[in-house]
Amino acid sequence: MNGMELAEGYYKEYGEPLLRGEFSEYAPLIAAGLAGEGSECFGYDDEISRDHDFGPGFCFWITEKTARDIGGKLQEAYRGLPAEYGGVTRIETPEGAARVGVITIEDFYRKYIGCPGAPSNVLDWFRIPERYLAIVTSGKVFRDPEGTFTEIRETLLGFYPEDVLRKKLAARAAVMAQSGQYNFPRSLKRGEKEAAWMALHEFVKAALSAIFLLNREYAPFYKWIFRRAGELTILQDTVTSLMKLVDMSVSEDGAWMTEMIEDICVSIEREIVRQGFAETHDQFMQAYCPDIMAGIKDPQLAGLPAIYDID
């Protein structure tokens, strides 16, 4: 079993009886599932990742009000469940100890996105790094009869408001232009391979984020970003080009790498135009920023420099 199958099986065997028995009165107020930071929440767990914070476990999500009534008792009952299931015993580090068990809905969302529920305005949305939105929308909800946890989750899964999407996309275009189209070739001409490597890193990071934004999906933590990018629908060939680019070293033919960077920019530019974010037709990514920014209605977001972002 993968980690999610293990968690769901463990819940059905041991969690459901708790809700039918001792906590049946409160069962309509208790959501259950597994979501958060672990690789199993993204479906990426393997033999290597299972050496820490892996094993049978799930979350009981309850509101702060319900926690005041039964939080302590429910957590005590959860801790009393068997440590082993399906031949697997949970291995837990201090950092991962709070990933499973009883968690208030407000604390779960507050921990990652800084507010107890969905953001109420575009600035709050803008301040949340993409990887944290990927975390809170990961995994699977096994049950949620009250619907509070799922309602917040569905709002977040609906993706950024249009203003925020435009601001982030403009920032990615600006960084791609600055790092890949401008500083990378200039650093190579100066013989500064270390600076060229850093510029290439910034370019790849921004290009991947732009692809996720254009797919209306949150980019996950860096170690999973290429894996998830390979599963996206829009600009899949461009993801393949980025993979080829990072396989090269800066010591290789700089002209060939510069050409690849330009091809990647062109493919993303075309998608930006196709989706109606800009009407510009220019090879330099910076030229698309004014069009993208022009569609932002919120004055505070619109007043920020194109290159500015929280990520």
User: Which residues make Cβ contacts (< 8 Å) with residue 180, sequence separation at least 6?
Assistant: 199, 200, 202, 203, 206, 207, 261, 264, 265, 285
* Partners of 54 in the β-ladder: 91
For 185, the token pair is 């070739």
Phi first, then psi: give them for residue 105, nearest 5 degrees: -60, -45
Cα–Cα–Cα angle for 181, 187, 193, rounded to 5 degrees: 120
pTM: 0.93
CA nearest to 170, candidates 200, 209, 131: 209
Q: What is the greatest pairwise CA distance in the chain? A: 72
pLDDT of residue 53: 67
- CA 30/CA 35 separation, integer angstroms: 15
Provide the pLDDT confidence category of residue 239 given band limits of 50, 70 and 90.
very high
Distance CA 211, CA 208 (A): 5
Higher pLDDT, 174 or 38: 174
Mean pLDDT of the chain: 94
Model pLDDT, residue 251: 62
CA 309 centroid distance within chain: 16
Q: Determine contact, residues 149/141, Cβ cutoff 8 Å.
A: yes
- pLDDT tens-digit series, residues 189-200: 999 989 999 999
What span, in angstroms and rounded, lies between the C-alpha atoms of 255 and 250? Answer: 10
pLDDT digits (tens, 9 = 90+) for 126-172: 999 999 999 999 999 999 999 999 999 999 999 999 999 999 999 99
Q: Which residues pair with 62 in a beta bridge?
A: 104
pLDDT at 262 over 90: yes
Cβ atoms of 32 and 15 within 8 Å: the answer is yes
Please count the residues of the chain: 311
Instruction: Measure the CA–CA gap between 51 and 53, rounded to whole angstroms.
Output: 7
Q: Report phi then psi at 114, rounded to 5.
A: 80, 5
